[in-house]
Structure 1
Amino acid sequence: MDDVELLYDEHARERIVPEPPKRVDAPVRLAFERDRARVVHAASFRRLAAKTQVVGPQSDDFVRNRLTHSLEVAQIARDLSRALGAHPDITETAALAHDLGHPPFGHNGERALAALAADWGGFEGNAQTLRVLTRLEAKTADGAGESVGLNLTRATLDACTKYPWGLDETHAKFGVYDEDRPAFDWLRSGAPERRRCMEAQVMDLADDVAYSVHDVEDGTVAGKIDLTRLDAPAVWETVRDWYQPDATDDELDAVLQRLRSVGSWPQAPYDGRRGSLAALKNLTSDLIGRFCGAVQQATFAASEGPFVRYAADLVVPPETWAEITVLKGVSAHYVMQDGARVALQERQRELLIELVAALLDRGADALDEAFTVDWDRAADDTARGRVVIDQVASLTDASAMAWHQRLCR
């Protein structure tokens, strides 16, 4: 056990169901290494390869899907946690797992299922991730024969919990359904109410850094963004609409000027050639290093640590957060608000609405075997609705379309 491992006590390494040591002839893996392996080998992790990030995974060989995004978030989280002295396996596992609960068609699908499930306890990708990890992704059962999911350690499950609260009127996002409260209460044992652990904060920042930078990269390669000719006034309106309603043009102009001062910021439009692609990759690398370096310095300046669990908090300088937000705004303006994309999203929402209705009507015979037992045990319409939502959320973009064609035509 190394020095970093010693910062995490038996409480942090505990699992819902105690597990004996592996046989003596098996490779020795520490608790958090086993957690990481379980997520990597999970079926829900593999399915991320066919789920939308921003641009649909079938549209281009280069653009990111949920799996490649998760791998990139994991790399950023691992590097930053190591630099801070936190356990890199915990934050990497949380990053690998952070999108397991996302349904087909990205955040568009999430909004559709949230509306459909409003009377069944709601739907939120992060709450669904916890449900996958502690119930739906079967690996371990308790003494009563009930699935406890992957049976990850408390520290890892806590690191996966981006929003440590349930559905309420004060937060648009939440991290647990009422039905999953027992697992949530177990993993949050001893944690300050509604406070995220350091490892969850690192995972969350790594997610923001990754998609702020990489969505711009994908949009540039797709020909939708030209970083040498940004329509700043229009982009700033999108920034205010989506992220920072009180930001002024002068403030956002200054942020863009700081970003343009990065040495690798392009001076010529992207042309698809190797030199242009290399320059774009250098920019993404420089921006990630810029953001993570600033956070590391600010975090060290604010506390003596150790930077684990609840001993300290991650500090993101306002200037860094503003730069991340501007990049998000660039992507939102040129990619997410594109007219063709908006029309496609409407069709995707209609598809999910029709698919949920068909599954509710047909019942167990139309579900995967893994969900038929849940359906048969459901006591009422609310419980049956949750089963159908679990089923649809598990589908990839392609399988959702195939199911719709089979059941709704």
Structure 2
Amino acid sequence: MNRDAHLALWACQPSSSRGRLYAEPESKTRTCFQRDRDRIIHSAAFRRLEYKTQVFVNHEGDFFRTRLTHSLEVSQIARSICRGLDLNEDLAEALALAHDLGHPPFGHAGEDALSAMMAPYGGFDHNAQSLRVITRLERRYAAFDGLNLTWETLEGLVKHNGPLTGGDANTPLPWAIAEYVRTHDLELDTYPSAEAQVAALADDIAYNNHDIDDGLSAGLFTIADLKDVPLVGPVFDEVHQAWPNIERGRLIHEAVRRLIGHMVHDLLAETRTRLAALAPGSADAVRRAGAPVVGFSPEMQRNDAALKAFLRANMYRHYKLNRMTSKARRLVRDLFELFVAEPGCLPTEWRRRAGAPATTETARVVADYIAGMTDRFAADEYRRLFDVQSRAS
């Protein structure tokens, strides 16, 4: 099924997809990218995002974002941007929904801990782990491991932050990506599609602005603290001037939605300017452009950097979060060390995949197991293994 007529020349056309690693009959009712999106939504890894930390650990409160709600917000922003640029909304949505599937429990604290523990065994990277989830660890289909997604979705997920080889991208490849591309070339030396570039910036727009909302709600900083942050302070003041007596919750929501709107409109204008100058005739021309075609204006890039700096200093390094992340790192480290040394403590299905204690094979199986945990399951597993009075299962 193909619906390409309304798309720009440089959009990813379903009819021109490079297909799937394992050939399958096409759907009569959905495009290939719609099927990718649906497979992601129905995956176990996607469901687990509901109980994985975005910034605040799940038990901190029901109001705060989780990896699941964040992914849904990224998806909405990505679709809106693609609609304005005549790009393929379904591909961007699939990428937005899948981009955090490889994140371990406890957010960046969990990733930092796994990265440190996996350093002797090839390292750990959540983008690479997302690829591993959708190509190997999801086991739902009779004919293959993984979700057998299209080349375009795999490419966009792996190149979330741009090319991985060639030019300035000469850092060693994460082992999971290097292993996969030996049998399925994802052209790591080029930029991804315009849709993938949109999804990556939609991620930035979503987490920056919604972290303002969550940080204010958690009392980590105040509206007054934001007054000198470029764009953010003026927007909050603009809302307050228009509605002097507005209640705090409405003020925050109104300001945050305006900030998202400013960033989206800036991205649309800047991207249209870049596309007009490049005049790409195909999606592959976007990949070969040598620079991103989707982006913020220089002024918005400065605003974005200033907001990130504020959040880093006032939220991500706040002592309350430092305490939470310290506990999370210790928990993940202790679980990893125990399972690598004693793989017999792994559940049966995982023990069958592991090798001898303290080997690379075992370490990678353990990393897969821990990365798939929710915050709650990881805490429960820790109690089962380290509390002598807790039941073993």
Q: Report the Cα offset of residue 141 of structure 1.
A: 6.2
Q: Report the Cα offset of residue 262 of structure 1.
A: 2.8
Matches within 5 A, 1:222-241: 222-230=218-226
Matches within 5 A, 1:249-328: 256-262=229-235, 265=238, 267=240, 275-304=247-276, 305=279, 309-312=283-286, 313-328=293-308
Q: 1:335 aligns with which of 294, 315, 329?
A: 315
2:189 match: 193
CA–CA distance in 1 between the matches of 2:314 and 2:265?
Answer: 28
Supply the AA of the counterpart residue of 1:394: G
2:139 match: 138
1:388 partner SS: helix
CA–CA distance in 2 between the matches of 1:229 and 1:379?
Answer: 51
Structure 2: give runs of 5+ residues left out of the alignment.
287-292, 388-393
CA–CA distance in 2 between the matches of 1:37 and 1:257?
Answer: 39
- Residues 291, 350 of structure 1: alpha-carbon distance in 2 compared, 3 angstrom cutoff: same
Q: Report the Cα offset of residue 323 of structure 1.
A: 1.4
Corresponding position: 1:127 with 2:128: yes
2:60 partner SS: coil
- State TM-score, norm by structure 1: 0.81
- State TM-score, norm by structure 2: 0.84
Q: 2:148 aligns with which of 137, 148, 151?
A: 151
CA–CA distance in 1 between the matches of 2:48 and 2:15?
Answer: 33
Supply the AA of the counterpart residue of 1:15: R
CA–CA distance in 1 between the matches of 2:235 and 2:317?
Answer: 27
Q: What does the per-residue CA deviation read over 1:357-384, in whole Å, with 9 as the maximum and x for residues that have no partner?
A: 1112331552362x334215x7981111
- Residues 298, 186 of structure 1: alpha-carbon distance in 2 compared, 3 angstrom cutoff: farther
Corresponding position: 1:16 with 2:12: no
Q: 1:405 aligns with which of 370, 375, 383?
A: 383
8 Å CA contact 2:201–2:295 kept in 1: the answer is no
8 Å CA contact 1:355–1:408 kept in 2: the answer is no
2:335 match: 355
Q: What does the per-residue CA deviation read over 1:258-301, in whole Å, with 9 as the maximum and x for residues that have no partner?
A: 43333765549xxxx98322221121111111111111111111
- Residues 58, 43 of structure 1: alpha-carbon distance in 2 compared, 3 angstrom cutoff: same
Supply the AA of the counterpart residue of 1:337: R
Give identity over the alignment, percent.
Answer: 34
Supply the AA of the counterpart residue of 2:149: L
CA–CA distance in 2 between the matches of 1:306 and 1:139?
Answer: 39
Count how many residue pairs are aligned between Structure 1 and Structure 2: 369
2:178 match: 181
8 Å CA contact 2:56–2:65 kept in 1: the answer is yes
Supply the AA of the counterpart residue of 1:400: A
1:262 partner SS: helix
8 Å CA contact 2:227–2:233 kept in 1: the answer is no
2:381 partner SS: helix
Q: Report the Cα offset of residue 166 of structure 1.
A: 6.1
1:223 partner SS: coil
2:207 match: 211
Structure 1: give runs of 5+ residues left out of the alignment.
233-255
CA–CA distance in 1 between the matches of 2:170 and 2:218?
Answer: 31
8 Å CA contact 1:124–1:173 kept in 2: the answer is no
- Residues 257, 208 of structure 1: alpha-carbon distance in 2 compared, 3 angstrom cutoff: closer
Deviates most, 329-338 or 79-88: 329-338
- Residues 355, 166 of structure 1: alpha-carbon distance in 2 compared, 3 angstrom cutoff: farther
